[in-house]
Structure 1
Amino acid sequence: MLILKKKIISILENIFDPEIPINIYELGLIYDIRIINKNIIIIIMTLTTPHCPVAESFTKIITKKIFNISYVKKVDVIITFFPNWTYKFMSELARLELGVL
């Protein structure tokens, strides 16, 4: 399961927010990665704003890329706004890149 989680994180680290040049994992948009029976993946994520124009495309991109893992049979991406995203969710690297400390 740890190897699969690392693969998923690697995929998420290659998906970037179109308005902020940081990947969605380092940006802190991913709240949880759940793996069920090694082939069902549930991603719980948020957006920087509820009015994000790419909300639908994010879920499609994430689903499509995770389905590239050969034994994955189902991917659900759930968007939540609880808790609301803030800069505190960003990784230290992301904060340094944006100059937010």
Structure 2
Amino acid sequence: MPEQTAQQKPRVTTEQVIEALREVYDPEIPVNIYDLGLVYDVQVDDNNRVYVAMTLTFPGCGMGPYIAQQAEWRIAEIEGVEDVQVELVWDPPWTPDMIRPEGKKLLGLEE
């Protein structure tokens, strides 16, 4: 990795993006979109451009544009982010099996 100069912005990490996504909630479910399993892919390129592929609990969810916009705004607040693209995808369809362990704890679904 090239040395960082004073003029370069800090490198944005996938972990930073995930933490930002953990601040975004589906208004109908008390679990963030990451732990709910709605985030399928997070990519950060060498120019600090962020791409997120996410879904919703069901395709007709009227809150979809709102949730995606909230995700974009949270990610854009990360120091160094140059661009954000959040894409809603429907394949594979979301199922409750996709809820991450932390989300299951929050929902009282621990195994």
Instruction: Kindly report structure 1 stretches of 4+ aligned residues shifted beyond 6 Å.
Output: none
Task: Report the count of equivalent residues.
Answer: 100
Extract unaligned runs of 5+ from structure 2. Answer: 1-10
2:43 is aligned with 1:34: yes
RMSD of the alignment, in Å?
1.7
Match of 2:68 in 1: 59
Match of 2:3 in 1: none
In the aligned structure 1, how far is the partner of 2:64 from the partner of 2:52?
A: 14
**TM-score scaled to structure 1, two decimals?**
0.89
Q: Which entry has the higher C-alpha Rg, 1 or 2?
A: 2
**TM-score scaled to structure 2, two decimals?**
0.81
Match of 2:24 in 1: 15
Match of 2:7 in 1: none
In the aligned structure 1, how far is the partner of 2:97 from the partner of 2:12?
A: 27
